[in-house]
Structure 1
Amino acid sequence: MADDESGRFAAGQTALVVPVPEAEPSVRSWRKRFDPAAQAGVPAHVTVVFPFLPASLVGAATCAALDEIVGRHRSFDVRFEECGRFPGVLYLAPVPDAPFRRLTQAVVERWPEAPPYGGKYDPHPHLTVAQGQDEAVLDEIEVGLRPCLPFAARVPTVDLVVHSGTEWQHRASFALR
């Protein structure tokens, strides 16, 4: 979820994320060292939309719309079976990824002014483990993760998180049906 230019977050930024508590035993120590989102208080997750709307624009009406949009989607099971990479990033790939893509698409259809990653990248569902590291570090982390894979998770909610200027804070959860 970090801004690619600085690796820092701005006060008032928001994100929609799917928490994956089942991943914590496998990724917590790596994320605390190598993922700025974890260092700023975000649990293991798959991002639905980042950045979302500025916090100043997220009121009761936005939350009601999110509740309705997310509630149209069924909760689902997902597995994390293998690692993947973007330049400088190591992640776990969710299988299936289609339910995450549908959630992102539904949010973006309602708020086209909030494209994932500011429109810089096509959304690709993933659970970031490390970012901003060279390939040798990512190789080491991947070797450490392999014995923990695969694992399964249940996806019952999408969470809205807000950056306070120092850390990410949970603001609301929206239940899938």
Structure 2
Amino acid sequence: MLATVAEAEPLVEHWRRRFDASAAAGIPAHVTVLFPFLDVDLISAAVIGDLTTLIAGHDSFAVRFDECGRFPDVLYLAPTPDQPLRALTESIATRWPEAPPYGGQFAEVIPHLTVAHGQPSRIFDEVEAELADRLPVTATISSVSLFVSDGQCWRPHANFPMLGASSNTPPRQPGSVSIHNS
């Protein structure tokens, strides 16, 4: 489950193609909402319906990427605010406790947009220096996308619009959720 950030793509695409294997596998610039999710064989119409309702209850929001951050093996752009992303993760993980964020590896999940992964510090320093002059990037997060893998490539499977807490009953008309079958 990803919040794609098309607005960041011109800034990070070059670096992600070089230093983030997920880009080559078909994943666009994004902030992870929940990974791993359910196996594709478990994604039924009921799961899609529950995701539609759950995500529709969240408001879209503006986010700004002002600076880079680092984990031991990741250089990333830090989103501000990050609370709406944390709320999305928490709501989906609460509904599907069998799919904890990052397999339960981390006590705290920190929203981030990965730019480079698994590189030496000098590469992170170089990329960060290049990015610093081109920040900030602003974006609007208005949906969450479910990507699925065939073992080599990732592809979008469904997109769930964020309609806002004021929408008591999300629309169920055709087209309210895009499901991609390949």
Confirm whether residue 85 of structure 1 aligns to residue 74 of structure 2: no
TM-superposed CA distance for 1:123, in Å, is: 1.1
Confirm whether residue 61 of structure 1 aligns to residue 34 of structure 2: no
Alignment-derived partner of residue 18 in structure 1: 3
Aligned partner of residue 49 in structure 1, secondary structure? coil
TM-superposed CA distance for 1:163, in Å, is: 0.7
Confirm whether residue 143 of structure 1 aligns to residue 129 of structure 2: yes
Confirm whether residue 108 of structure 1 aligns to residue 93 of structure 2: yes
Alignment-derived partner of residue 14 in structure 2: 29
Percent sequence identity is: 52
Alignment-derived partner of residue 24 in structure 2: 39
Q: Distance in 1 between matches of 2:97 and 2:151?
A: 25
Q: Distance in 2 between matches of 1:69 and 1:153?
A: 22
Per-residue CA deviations over 1:95-142 (Å, capped at 9, x if unaligned) read 000000000000011001100000001211000000000111100010
Confirm whether residue 74 of structure 1 aligns to residue 59 of structure 2: yes
Per-residue CA deviations over 1:52-87 (Å, capped at 9, x if unaligned) read 011110111101000000001000000000000000
Q: Distance in 2 between matches of 1:81 and 1:144?
A: 13
Equivalenced residue count is 162
- Residue ranges of structure 1 left out of the alignment (5+ in a row): 1-15
Q: Distance in 2 between matches of 1:134 and 1:115?
A: 29
Q: Distance in 1 between matches of 2:60 and 2:52?
A: 14
Q: TM-score, normalised by structure 1?
A: 0.90
Aligned partner of residue 148 in structure 1, secondary structure? coil
Aligned partner of residue 51 in structure 1, secondary structure? coil
The residue type equivalent to 1:40 in the other structure is A
TM-superposed CA distance for 1:39, in Å, is: 1.2
Q: Which of residues 139, 161, 164 is equivalent to 1:153?
A: 139
Alignment-derived partner of residue 171 in structure 1: 157
Alignment-derived partner of residue 178 in structure 2: none
The residue type equivalent to 2:70 in the other structure is R
Per-residue CA deviations over 1:135-172 (Å, capped at 9, x if unaligned) read 11100010111111001000110000001111000000
Q: Distance in 2 between matches of 1:37 and 1:67?
A: 25
Alignment-derived partner of residue 119 in structure 2: 133
Aligned partner of residue 125 in structure 1, secondary structure? coil
Q: TM-score, normalised by structure 2?
A: 0.88
Q: Distance in 2 between matches of 1:132 and 1:88?
A: 5
- Residue ranges of structure 2 left out of the alignment (5+ in a row): 164-182
